[in-house]
Structure 1
Amino acid sequence: MNILLIGSGGREHALAWAISASPLCDRLFIAPGNPGTAQCGENVVIDIADHSAVIAFCRLQTIDLVVVGPEGPLVDGIADDLTAAGIKTFGPSKAAAQLEGSKGFTKELCAQFGIPTAGFGRFTDAASAKAYVTEQGAPIVIKADGLAAGKGVVMAETLDEANAAIEMMFAGGLGAAGAEVVIEEWMIGEEASFFALCDGTHALPLASAQDHKRVGDGDTGPNTGGMGAYSPAPVMTKALEAQVMADIIMPTLAGMTERGSPFQGILYAGLMITAQGPKLIEYNVRFGDPECEVLMPRLRSDIVPALIAACDGVLDNITLRWSDEAALTVVLAARGYPGKPETGSVIRGIETAEALDDVLVFHSGTKQDATGSVLASGGRVLNMVGLGKTVADAQTRAYRGVDAIDWPEGFCRRDIGWQAVKREREG
C-alpha cells in the first residue's frame, strides 16, 4: 500500500515510525513531516490546507490510505473531501470533529446523552461570563470554545484570574477560538488519557496513558499541549476502563450516530477520575501528543490493518496486542514556551541519545538547515522516550536520553511520571 500521513509533529513521527514497520506499507509519504519522519518515509511539500492539492497528490502517487494526524485539517473537513474523492481516509468527518472543534458542542452532547462531565455554562459575552463566575466562585475553569493549540484552558484559582482569562479570550487573545467561552466547575481527582479506535459503531480501547499538561515541575504553571506522558497509567484499572467504555465512549458513539454524524477515527477522552467515578474533561479527535509517542512503542500489533478496519466499519474483527513494558516520554521545549518560543537554536546530541538502549527520539518542532544541523522550529521540539519494565525504569532511561542532548536554549520538566513512580514504590 501507498500511505499518506498528514502532519509534522511528534505524534506524526511516532505514527510514521509505526506505519513504516507494517508489511502492508510499500511507500509512506508524510506531508509536510519533519527531520524525524524523513527517517521513516518520504517528506513531501504540500499545503495541507489546500484539499484539492492533497487530492491531486493522492491520485498522482496512487495513495491507498490517508491518515490525518492533527486536529486542524479534520475540523476543516479534509476527511470529507478526501472521502468524496474516493480516497480511503482515517479520521472523522468535519461534523464529527466538532467533538474537539467546539467544547460547547461536546458539553451539550454530554448533557443530552447523560455522559458524566463537569457542570458548565456557555457564553458569548464577557459580562455574562463574569456574572456566572461570580455566582459559582473560584477555583473554576475557563475554556475557549474552539481550537487553541492546547493553550485555550485557564485553571483559575481566584476570581481575578478567572475574570482576566475571560477578558483575554473575548478581547481576541486566542483569535476566533475565544469568540465563545465555556466555563466549568473545577473537578477534583486524577487525570488520565483514554483512547478508543472507532468505526462509527464499534470502539476498540487502546492502552492507557497519562500526560502532564502544566509547564512546571509539580504540575505548576500554565497549561500546555503536554510536557510528557507515560503508558500504562496505573490509575486506569480494567474495571475503570470498562466503566469508561460503558458510560462515556459508547454513549458518545450512539449520540453522534443519532445526530447524523457517526464518529470514525480516534476518540481521545481526557478524563478526571473523581470520587464519583470517571468524568469527561474534553474530547480530542486524533491521537494525543505526546501520548502517541508512548502508545506506539508499546503496540505489538500491526497498526495499519486496525486503521483500515476503522475506515471500513469492521473493528469488531480486530484485536490489538500491547507490550507489558512501560513507556515514558519527556518533552524538550524551547525557552519561552507555552508563550512565544525562541526558535532557530541548534540542537546537538540527538544521535547520542538515539544510540542509548531502550531510548527513542521523536521529533516535534524541528527543521534542518543547509548544513544538516537540527534547529528548533516550534514550542515543543523533541520527545525523549524511555522503555522499561516499570514506569520508574522508563523514566530513568528517558532522562538519560534528555541528558545526552546539548541544547542550552531548551528546557523540560524533571518529574514526568511522578504519580506512577510513587504508586510503584508504595505498591
Structure 2
Amino acid sequence: MLVETFLEGQEFSAFALVNGRQAVLMPLAQDHKRLRDGDEGPNTGGMGAYSPLPQFPSETASQVMTTVIQPVIDQLAAMGAPFVGFLYAGLIATSEGLKVIEFNVRMGDPETQVVLPQLQTDLGAAILTLLGGQKPRLDWQSDSIYLGTVIASAGYPRNGKDGVALPGITAADAMVSYAGVTTKNSKWVSHGGRVMMVTVKAPSVLAAQKRVNQILDHNVDQQAYTWRHDIGHSAIS
C-alpha cells in the first residue's frame, strides 16, 4: 500500500559527518533541480546551489540534528549497523515542521561546491578526529554567501551536445568545478549533460547571483550551453 501526502515548503540539504555514534553538521544548502528559471522545465541533477541559507531561522540546524540526523544514527547503532561516513538528508521545511524527502550516503552535487569552500579548518583532520571517537570543532566562514551555477550542454537533460569547446572562465573571483568534460585533439570539450559549475562568494545572495550571471553572460555561448539566472531566488524573494 502506497500512502502519499503533498508537502509544501522550501527544500534544502543537510550534510553530516558521522562516526557511528556522533555527528557534525555542515552548513545548510539549497539546490535547484529544475532546468529553467522559475523552477520550470524537467528535473535535472541540479542546476546550481547556494549556502548558507539566510531565509532560515538560526535554530534550523539544531532542529535538523535533534529531530533527523541523531535519531537515524542512534537507531542504526541500536540495530547493530552503525553508519560511518557522510550522511545527506534531503529535507523540506513545512508548516508542520521538518520532513524528510530522502537520505543519501554521500555529499551532494552541486551543494558540495558551495559548502566545502566555507570550511576554514582541515577536513581530513576533522574526519580522523571523529573516527578517533572525539568530536572535532569545524570552523566555518559566516560573513559571505557562496553561490554556484551549473553550465549544462544545450539540450540537457535529454539531448546534450558533446564535443563543444569549454567556456573560458578567467575571472579571478570565480571558482570553477568541472564535471562532464573530456579531451579532444588535446583540447578540453564537453562530454555529458552538466559540464561545469561556476561559484562565487559575496556579502548577499543577490550580490552573488548578479556576479555569477555577469561572469556567465560574458563568457558562455548561449547557443552551445544553458544555465539558470535565478539561483538563490527563494532567499532573495
Please give the range of the TM-score, normalised by the shorter of the 2 chains.
over 0.9
Alpha-carbon deviations, 1:219-238, whole Å to 9, x = none?
11221111100001124323
Could you tell me which of 77, 86, 107 is aligned with 1:287?
A: 107
Task: Specify the alignment match of 2:174 in structure 1.
Answer: 359
Shift, 1:380, TM fit: 0.7
Number of aligned residues: 235
Task: Specify the alignment match of 2:157 in structure 1.
Answer: 338
- Deviating above 4 A after TM superposition, structure 1's stretches of 4 or more consecutive aligned residues are none
Could you tell me which of 174, 194, 206 is aligned with 1:392?
A: 206
Q: Distance in 1 between matches of 2:27 and 2:125?
A: 17
Q: 1:327, 1:394 within 8 Å by CA — same for their partners in 2? A: yes
What amino acid is aligned across from residue 365 of structure 1 in structure 2?
G
Q: 2:167, 2:219 within 8 Å by CA — same for their partners in 1? A: yes
Shift, 1:401, TM fit: 2.3
Q: Distance in 2 between matches of 1:327 and 1:344?
A: 30
Task: Specify the alignment match of 1:320 in structure 2.
Answer: 138
In the alignment, is residue 258 of structure 1 matched against residue 72 of structure 2?
no
- TM-score of the superposition, structure 1-length normalised? 0.53
Task: Specify the alignment match of 1:105 in structure 2.
Answer: none
Q: 2:29, 2:50 within 8 Å by CA — same for their partners in 1? A: yes
What amino acid is aligned across from residue 391 of structure 1 in structure 2?
V
Shift, 1:349, TM fit: 1.6
Q: 1:331, 1:383 within 8 Å by CA — same for their partners in 2? A: yes
Alpha-carbon deviations, 1:395-422, whole Å to 9, x = none?
1222222124333311001111111122
In the alignment, is residue 216 of structure 1 matched against residue 30 of structure 2?
no
Shift, 1:313, TM fit: 4.4
Task: Specify the alignment match of 2:24 in structure 1.
Answer: 204
Shift, 1:315, TM fit: 4.5
Shift, 1:388, TM fit: 0.6
SS class of match (2:113): helix
Q: Distance in 1 between matches of 2:147 and 2:196?
A: 13
In the alignment, is residue 298 of structure 1 matched against residue 118 of structure 2?
yes
Task: Specify the alignment match of 1:382 in structure 2.
Answer: 196
Runs (5+) with no aligned partner, structure 1: 1-119, 122-182, 423-427
Q: Distance in 2 between matches of 1:421 and 1:203?
A: 31
Shift, 1:357, TM fit: 3.8
Alpha-carbon deviations, 1:131-167, whole Å to 9, x = none?
xxxxxxxxxxxxxxxxxxxxxxxxxxxxxxxxxxxxx
**Cα–Cα, structure 1 residues 363 and 246, in superposed 2: closer, same or farther, change >3 Å?**
same
Runs (5+) with no aligned partner, structure 2: none
Q: Distance in 1 between matches of 2:84 and 2:57?
A: 25
- TM-score of the superposition, structure 2-length normalised? 0.93
Q: Distance in 1 between matches of 2:201 and 2:35?
A: 23
Q: Distance in 1 between matches of 2:43 and 2:203?
A: 30
Q: 1:215, 1:223 within 8 Å by CA — same for their partners in 2? A: yes
SS class of match (2:17): strand
Q: 2:163, 2:184 within 8 Å by CA — same for their partners in 1? A: no
Task: Specify the alignment match of 1:329 in structure 2.
Answer: 148
Shift, 1:274, TM fit: 0.2
* Coordinate RMSD, CA, aligned: 1.7
Name whichever structure is richer in strand by fraction: 2
Using the aligned pairs only, state the percent identity: 40
Q: 1:192, 1:235 within 8 Å by CA — same for their partners in 2? A: no
SS class of match (2:38): coil
Alpha-carbon deviations, 1:283-313, whole Å to 9, x = none?
1111110001101221111111122234x24
Which structure carries more relative contact order (alpha carbon 8 Å, separation 6+)? 2
In the alignment, is residue 419 of structure 1 matched against residue 234 of structure 2?
yes
SS class of match (1:218): helix
Name whichever structure is richer in helix by fraction: 1
Larger-Rg structure: 1
In the alignment, is residue 225 of structure 1 matched against residue 40 of structure 2?
no
Q: Distance in 1 between matches of 2:117 and 2:191?
A: 25
